[in-house]
Amino acid sequence: MSISIHVKSGYDPQLKRFRLTINDEGQGITKEKLYKIMDPNFTTKRKSCGTEMGPSVSSNIIKEQQEILEFTSTVGRDTNDTYLFILAYW
């Protein structure tokens, strides 16, 4: 099975944040499972690989920096990970 990954970036003037969206065209995640994605013990792939620690660890780092991490998914189609960062001017 082949999965495509797409990356989009841009500036959200309403939130005054840089937006980075990573989209994978996999199988998607059901709404019932999507809310569990930040749980470090939850995985949708326990039998095949990994522990799904990435979303939990990423979420903690992003929250510490007062940034935003959002997940959306359509079953049978895709999953989007969106990161919203405050732009820092030096």
The pTM score is 0.71
- What structural domains does the chain harbor? 5-86 (3.30.565.10)
Largest CA distance in the chain: 46
Distances, alpha carbon 4 to alpha carbons 22, 63, 82, in Å: 11, 28, 17
- Note the pLDDT of residue 8: 95
Helix (H) or strand (E) holding 32: helix 31-34
Q: Tell me: the pLDDT tens digits for 33-83?
A: 888 877 777 776 656 555 556 677 777 788 888 888 888 999 988 889 888
